[in-house]
Structure 1
Amino acid sequence: MIRALPLALLLAACSLGPPGAVVRDHGFLELRDGATVVARRPRAAGVSWTPSGSAVYLDDLWWALDRDPIITTPTADLPPFPYGRVIAASAGDLDEDGTLEIVVSYRHPARTVPWDPRPLPVDSRGASAHLGVVEADGTPVWLARRIPHPIGAIAACGEHVALAYTGYETDAVVATTAATWHGFGFTVAPELAGDGQIGCADVDADGTLDPVVRR
């Protein structure tokens, strides 16, 4: 479900707004920091709209960045992980309860289960790709059986994560996306096709990190 923009983002008395102000002008919504346009999206664009260049995921929508921010990729001190071979991991407070969770991309030998007998895509070693969330001590919170593509990089940005998709036989990034934690799984944003560098930055100056794709 798409959340409404916060009230602070809806208020813009003139073309020079405070940090985080959205100004509607020339057919675009513009996110501004003072006089500087930070990001924009077409006013008439739907939820499936995606930018062609660098992007930030704000309030469940993609915005086109006017300039690339400095991004960070939170690391993870991952405890022993018995569920497969770890590809990437990043720590963030997904449920905003003050403690960190770890988002993990991993692979393990493909296997069937009674509730999903369909075969999984696999790499040349017969391993399937998965995404999971564990607590800081390794206790599993959620382990996905199916994901859209293998995940080669993760940036946990609070309740949101940025993901870099790869192929099964290559580490090259083929697409990127963002996803929002909903307590037991993620709601995934529309994919951004092609290569990209993922990370986190506080683009709208609200004190929280946002998923960013630089490309």
Structure 2
Amino acid sequence: MPMTSRYPIPAPDWHRTEEILKKSRFIATVAHAPTTEEARAFIESVRAEFPDATHNCWAFQAGPPGSTARVGMSDDGEPHGTAGRPMLNVLLHAPVGEVACVVTRYFGGIKLGTGGLVRAYAGMVKAALEILPLRERIVPVMLEVVLDYNAITLFKRMLPDFEAVVTEEEFGADARFVLRLPQERVSPLCAALEEMTGGAVLAEVRNMDSDG
């Protein structure tokens, strides 16, 4: 089961911000990364865009906010622990999931020092996230419901309150419906159906789906 059934993710396309820090040019590029493979493909695309950069440091978190199940990072030649780790820490503490970030640096001749690098790379990720357009990712559940014909009208009227959509319906001895709804709406809907029908209802989660 997912850690949460809905959470913010980056809107489609890449999003970018840029700063000059002590003559070094820093470019932060952020994108949606629902899988490790897509995160790495995005990173390679940015590296290909800036092949002459001094560094293309990166980090990604390809899961719900705060999840460490699918993460990655790289200092790309900067002193160990001064780029990838600070970048990943920012991503893990952000309220957004499925996100990858590459911070490109063109060295300007002035060394920032270890602490300066940590602040610069972490700061670039924070700056990019602040302007990042978001959309909501909903992890839905498919729920099969069987009830009497005399309950259909009230049943269908209550569905919008639970963000439920009918994906299948079949009319035999009873009425059977397959609903698609957010995971956290399942228990409240089942409770409402039990109350409405006096217990004359069967409701069972059929399978999990995904929605980008």
User: TM-score with structure 2 length normalisation?
Assistant: 0.20
Which protein has the bigger helix share? Answer: 2
User: TM-score with structure 1 length normalisation?
Assistant: 0.20
Which protein has the bigger strand share? Answer: 1
